[in-house]
Amino acid sequence: MSRATRNLLRALTDQFIRNPFRVLWVINIFVFEYLYARVYMYSCSWPVTGKSGKDIRIALIGDPQLTDAYSYRQNGLLLYLTQFYSDVFMKRNFKLLNYIYKPDYVLILGDIMDGGREWRDEQHPDYFDPELKRLKHIFLLPQVEDKMIYMAGNHDIGFGPQIIPQAYKRHQHHFGDPNFSLSIANHTFIALDTLSYSGENESPYFQKADKFLRDFVATDPATQPRILLTHIPLFRPDNSPCGPLRNKPLIRQGRGYQYQNLVVESLSEHILQSVKPVLVLSGDDHDDCVYTHTSKSLTVPEHSIATFSWLQGNIYPGFALLAVNSDVSGVRDESAHQIGKCSLPPQLLIYKWYIWFLVITLVGCFGMAVWNRGKRFTRDLVAESKKNDGDARRGVHKDNVGAVSLVLKVVGLGVLYFGEVLGAAIAVYAVLLTYDWL
C-alpha cells in the first residue's frame, strides 16, 4: 500500500472517529447519487435474436412526461426544484443508457411533456420554447440527436374528441406526424395515432389516422414483419395479468379528462386485423405490462413500457431494449426480434431514506455532543461544588450556572457536528449533480 493511500485511510479514520456521520453521509450520497444508477444500468443487457444478420438495437422510453406547472399545480421555488430533480434523474439515466448501450435508435412512446396539451399559444406564448429546451437538454445528446423517434401522447395533443388543434400542429412541427411508418432491419414500424383514432368519425384527426391506416394496408407489400406502435395500450379484459415486473395495480378500462386507459375493444380488433403485427409496443400506463392478444387467427404479444420518470406514480421507473434483425422470412416471422426490460433506481425511496437518515444524524450529532462534553462538565461541576461547600447558597448558584453552561456547550457542539455533516454532504451532492446535469 502506498504512503498516499495510507495517509488517506488514516485521515478518513480520524474523521470517522471525530464525526462518523460526516463520512456516512459522503458514502450515502456517493452510493445513491452515483453508484446506484450504474449498478441498475449495468444489470441489464441487450437481448440477442440469434439470427445470422446484424441486430439493430432500439432503446424504448415510455412517458418521460416532463414535470411542469400543470403536473402538481406548483409555482415558484417548489416548481423549480420539482422540475430540476425530475430532469436530473432522467438526464443521468439517459446519459448512462447511451454510454453503456449505444442504441442505434431511441423511440419515445408518447407523453413527452406533461402539460403540452394545455399550452394554448395565445395564453402561453412563451411557455413551449423553454419546455422544448428542457427536453433537448435531457434527451438530445450529440451522439443520438439524429436517432430519436417521437410518438404523440394524450398529454402532448389531447385525446379522442378533445384533440387540441394547436398542440397537434405543434407536435407535427417539432416531432413529426403522429401517424408514421418506417423500416428498420427489414421490420416495418407502424406508429398509429390511436388518440385521434378514438375520436368521432367526423373529426379531421380521426380521418387522418383512418386514412393513414387504410393507405398503409393498401400499399405495403407485406413482405416483412410489422411492429405496431400505439401510445394507448390495446384492449384486454379488466385485471388481465401483466407479468412479474408489474409494480402498480393491473390495468382496467377507465376514462376521464383527456385520457382513456385502453383502446376500446372494437377499435383494437380492427387495428390488429388491419396491421397484423408480430409485436405491439405501447406506453401511457407508466408501468410494465405484457399481454398476449388473441384475435381470430392472430396471437400478438403487447409490451407496455414503464415510465422513464420517477415522478409518474411508479416507484421503479424503467425502459426497454429491443433488438431487431434483418434476417427475416416473411411478414409473420416472429423470430427476428427480442425485447428486454430494465429497471431504474427507486429515486422516491432514496429521498425518503435521506429524510430518515437526516433525522438519525441530527439525533446522533447531539448524542455525540452530550457524550463528549457531558462527563467533563459533570466532573468540573462536582469539583467546583466541593470547593465551595461552605457556602450553600453560592454553591447552588454555581451549580445552576454550570448546568446552563453545559447545556449551551452541548447544543453548540451538536450544531457544529451537524453543520460539518451538512457541509460535507452538500459539497459531494453538488459535485455529483453538476456532473449529471452538464
| Domain at 328, CATH number | 3.60.21.10
Single out the residue in 295, 314, 345 at which a domain terminates: 345
Whole domain around residue 134: which residue ranges? 46-345
Q: What pLDDT, on a 0 to 100 scale, did the predictor assign at position 396?
A: 47
Residue with cell 428498420: 184
User: 306 vs 141, 254, 286, CA distance in Å?
Assistant: 22, 19, 5
Q: Cell triple for residue 242?
A: 401483466
338 and 281 assigned to the same domain: yes
In a domain, 185, yes or no: yes
Tell me if residue 301 falls in helix, strand or coil.
strand
156 vs 170: CA distance, rounded Å: 9
Closest to 305 (Cα-Cα) out of 171, 194, 151: 151
Indicate if 376 and 271 belong to the same structural domain.
no
285-300: per-residue pLDDT in tens?
Answer: 999 999 999 988 899 9
**Chain center to CA of 365:** 34
370 & 433 share domain: yes
Distance CA 367, CA 360 (A): 10
Q: How many CB atoms lie within 10 A of CB 228?
A: 24
Q: Are 341 and 392 within one domain?
A: no
Q: What is the pLDDT of residues 131-185, one digit of tens each?
A: 999 999 999 877 777 899 999 999 999 999 999 999 999 999 999 999 999 999 9
In a domain, residue 306? The reply is yes
C-beta separation of 254 from 260 below 8 A: yes
Q: Which of 345, 363, 394 is the last residue of a domain?
A: 345
Domain identity same for 283 and 149: yes
Q: Among 118, 192, 203, which residue's Cα sits nearest to residue 160?
A: 203
Residue 249's φ and ψ, nearest 5 degrees, are -60, 160
Same-domain status, 146 and 247: yes
Cell numbers for 421: 455533516
Pair type for strands 180-184 and 148-150: unpaired
Helix (H, G, I), strand (E, B) or coil at 343: strand
Task: Give the residue among 188, 197, 343, 178 at the shortest CA–CA distance from 279.
Answer: 188
Q: Could you tell me if 96 and 214 lie in one domain? A: yes
Mean pLDDT (the chain) is 88
**Is 265 found in the same domain as 401?**
no
Task: Output the nine-digit C-alpha cell for 125.
Answer: 406564448
Inside any domain, residue 339: yes
Q: Please identify which residue in the block is written with the cell numbers 445470422.
A: 52
Pairing of strands 148-150, 105-108: parallel
Same domain, 218 and 113: yes
User: How many Å apart are CA 380 and CA 401, to the nearest integer?
Assistant: 12
Measure the CA–CA gap between 58 and 239, rounded to whole angstroms. Answer: 29
154 and 302 inside one domain: yes
Q: Which of 274, 139, 6, 335 is nearest to 263 (CA)?
A: 274
**pLDDT tens for each residue of the chain, 438 residues long:** 677 666 655 655 555 567 889 989 999 999 999 999 999 999 999 999 999 889 999 999 999 999 988 888 778 899 999 999 999 999 999 999 999 999 999 999 999 999 888 876 655 667 888 899 999 999 987 777 789 999 999 999 999 999 999 999 999 999 999 999 999 999 999 999 999 999 999 999 999 999 999 999 999 998 999 999 999 999 999 999 999 999 999 999 999 999 999 999 999 999 999 999 999 999 999 999 999 999 888 999 999 999 999 999 999 999 999 999 999 988 899 999 999 999 999 999 999 999 999 999 999 888 887 777 666 655 665 555 566 554 544 444 555 555 666 677 777 777 888 888 899 999 999 999 999 988
The dihedral over CA atoms of 209, 125, 146, 227, expressed in degrees to the nearest 10, equals -20
Q: Is residue 30 part of a domain?
A: no
Residue 182 lies in a domain: yes
Count of domains observed in the chain: 2
Where a domain ends, among 329, 345, 361? 345
Is residue 148 one of the residues assigned to a domain?
yes
Strand order in the sheet with 55-61: 148-150, 105-108, 55-61, 318-325, 337-343
Q: Do the domain assignments include residue 9?
A: no
Say if residues 413 and 373 touch (Cβ distance below 8 Å): yes
Are 338 and 363 contained in the same domain?
A: no
Pair 98, 215 in one domain: yes
